[in-house]
Amino acid sequence: MTQKKPNLRPEIDFDSLLSQGANTYDSAVGHWWHSRSMDLPHRRAYKHIAESTLAFCQAKSLQPKMILDYACGSGAILGDLLQAFPKAHLIGLDGSRQLLQGVAKSHPDLSELLDQHDAFHAFTKPVSLALTSLPNFRLPEQLCDLVFLIFPNLVPDPKHLGEFNRHGYCNKKDNEVARMLARFREMDPDDETVTMDPEDFFDELMTARVFSRNLRHLLRPGGMLVRVEYSQANRTELTDLTQWRSLFGEGALETPIKGEKCESFFRVVDSEYRKSKVIQDVFHQTGDPDDKIGGYMLTAFEAI
């Protein structure tokens, strides 16, 4: 008798729960992410991210005094960041009360849950945690030397459509470039990674760009942003079109697209790829066997 292989995917309706906006991670998705972020592949990844970032900062003679973990979730990397940057103050922002309370309870001597403005000004412990919807352009501007966005799964809240309009959708040049990038397709169909229709992909590109503009809002000029994304290849191995799409969302596209040039607020400093089982976070959500193989890409950007 053939033994049935266990189902490695959690029984969570990700599609439904990920449509709940700011409350998404106060549901079963939050419990799932807390468990995933504490496993061995994620712990190894967080240690590597902290060490690589320290090397980036040393190469740039950057000694960060204020470090922000944007969408910090379970706060699993905070210990590694404190070890790498012992003289810095750390801030963790997230929209999940459930996850932030878990961080504060697990590390009461190191962290405190504060008002979103006090987290930048009135802190008494090494780590300040603040509950806030993201993006949030009302947060203190340009105070951070180093900002992290790690394994993001940011869920736009329909209640904040006005904020998205003001900071992205109403920008004519952003719109024109995004529509072209959403409409273009690879010359070789086997290279194409986009399966959604152009209008949905346009919305995804613009949404990513608004979050990137918010990250720039928080960083001082010359500060560093470190983005860590699930990936199956390094940035340099991607096609030109795929790189343009990524750079547009990241706010770092400097190449004109058919004569149209969007605003750049970041510049790529360095990038590296590492194979890791953290990619199975994606498989859990999609069920696609191809999402079992890969790892993550770490990219450092300079705020310009």
pLDDT in tens, 226-282: 999 999 999 999 999 999 999 999 999 999 999 999 999 999 999 999 999 999 999
90 versus 13: which is more confidently predicted? 90
- Give the pLDDT confidence score for residue 1 in this predicted structure: 44
pLDDT at residue 4 above 60?
A: no
pLDDT in tens, 136-185: 999 999 999 999 999 998 888 777 888 888 898 888 889 999 999 999 99
Which residues are within 8 A (CB) of 258 and not within 5 positions of it... i.e. 6 or more apart?
180
DSSP lists the bridge partners of residue 299 as 227, 271
Chain mean pLDDT for the chain: 93
Average of pLDDT values for 111-140?
Answer: 95
Structural domains present in the chain: 14-153+212-303 (3.40.50.150)
Report the DSSP pairing between strands 295-303 and 266-275: antiparallel
- Give the pLDDT confidence score for residue 162 in this predicted structure: 85
Q: What's the pLDDT band for 18 if we cut at 50, 70, 90? A: confident
- Number of residues in the chain: 304
Phi-psi region of 68 (alpha: psi -120 to 50; beta: other; left: phi over 0): beta
pTM score:
0.94
In the structure, how many helices (H) and strands (E) does the chain have? Answer: 11, 8
Average of pLDDT values for 296-301?
Answer: 97
